[in-house]
């Protein structure tokens, strides 16, 4: 149980285009989803937290107009990188958590590697 699917796993796009990444909880209801960015050989950097049906909470320094997050249902959250540029190339990972479960465990997707040309 507790499977999180992230799609696509790899995307290459041209500079100036927008890219949407999906994160789905397959067998549980995700009251909260998190979006992270990971640079090579570094730890995960939290970008934003989203609760189903409400606006995402962005971490300091993360542009909300650049990284649009939607969490319209208890099983799906999307991250859209708008007008992507080469500096947005990175590994993006989502996680999902069920707040009703007391242990606050986050279950992670497999990640999306974004390359902006």
Contacts with other proteins, residue ranges (CB under 8 A) = 4, 6, 32, 34, 42-44, 46, 49, 51, 57, 93, 95, 97, 99, 103-111, 113
For residue 28, report the phi and psi dihedrals to the nearest 5 degrees: -155, 165
Nearer Cβ to other proteins (28/34): 34
Rounded least distance, CB 4 to other proteins, Å: 8
Instruction: Please state the closest distance from residue 32 (CB atom) to other proteins, in A.
Output: 6
In sequence order, what DSSP letters do the residues of 10-59 get, joined into one string? EEEE-TT--EEEEEEESSS--SEEEEEEE-TTS-EEEEEEEETTSPPEEP
């Amino acid at each position: 149980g507790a499977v999180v699917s992230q799609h696509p796993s790899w995307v290459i796009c041209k500079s100036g285009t927008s890219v949407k990444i999906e994160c789905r909880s397959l067998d549980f209801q995700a009251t909260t989803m998190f979006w992270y960015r990971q640079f090579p050989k570094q730890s995960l950097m939290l970008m934003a937290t989203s609760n189903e049906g409400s606006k995402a909470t962005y971490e300091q320094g993360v542009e909300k107009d650049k990284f649009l997050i939607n969490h319209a249902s208890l099983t799906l959250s999307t991250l859209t990188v708008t007008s992507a540029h080469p500096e947005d190339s990175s590994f993006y990972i989502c996680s999902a958590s069920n707040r009703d479960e007391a242990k606050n465990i986050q279950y992670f997707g497999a990640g999306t590697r974004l390359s902006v040309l």
